[in-house]
Amino acid sequence: MADEIKESTEATAEATPKKKIDWKKKRLPIIIALVCVVTVVGVAGWAWHATPECCDTICHSTMGKYYNSFVNDTTTLAYKHKAAANNQCLGCHEATLPQMLHEVQMQLSGTYDMPFKKVTFTNEFCLQSGCHTGAGVMPGATESSTKDWSFDPHSTHHGVQQCNSCHRMHDQSVFTCAGCHQVGAWEGEGSLPEGWTMQDLGDGQQGGVPDGWTTPKNFQAAE
């Protein structure tokens, strides 16, 4: 009897063929799933690459100073421009994909020179729509916001100067006028504006400088 049951079970197992997976029917869903995954990862990666965290993660040995001045150092202009730049390095430092890949290649191979060549922006860049156009900071764009000061640093007396001659984004800003003028030191140079402090200009001279700024003689770029 047991032998008959065993034979019957074996016969049933042999009679029931194993189901084969029809990969042709599953191919389309698999492809769609892979495309979705690649798309999500690609979009997330593209968004991340514009952030300071991306620059710091990939190039910390060279970009650490710039990351810190943009993210952590509340005294820098870079930090104060975070909102205007949508918290993205590429908000100001526009770059093409080939250029960024080349920079990563230089970082990985160590074929770069330190310190980096200073990147400068024109007045037109700073005064473009949505930035400082409405702030009235420079003659020639809108009326100078300092025109009523006894000493107007935005005066066109020496011609229209470039914003970056004084305003440094990732370094301490430099009051270039202090190379010649002793603001607040004597009547001919005007009174000391509110929010300015007297500093040693060198050679025994004193002069007013915006609070938190330095002078050409004392300027030292951050490491």
CB 189 within 8 A of CB 183: yes
What is the per-residue pLDDT for 23?
61
Torsional class of 136: left (φ above 0), alpha (ψ -120 to 50), beta (otherwise): left
CA dihedral 56, 59, 64, 69 (to 10 degrees): -60
pLDDT of residue 175: 92
The separation between CA 24 and the C-alpha centre of its own chain, rounded to angstroms, equals 48
pLDDT of residue 147: 76
Residue 144's φ and ψ, nearest 5 degrees, are -60, 135
Amino acid at 212: G
- In sequence order, which residues have a C-beta less than 8 Å from that of residue 212 and are 6 or more positions away? 75, 172, 173
Nearest alpha carbon to residue 146 among 183, 173, 92, 179: 183
Q: What is the mean pLDDT of each run of 10 residues along the chain (223 residues)?
A: 52 56 70 83 74 79 86 90 84 83 83 81 80 56 67 82 88 90 78 86 86 87 64
Q: Do residues 154 and 144 lie in contact, with contact meaning Cβ atoms separated by under 8 Å?
A: yes
d(CA 102, CA 172): 29
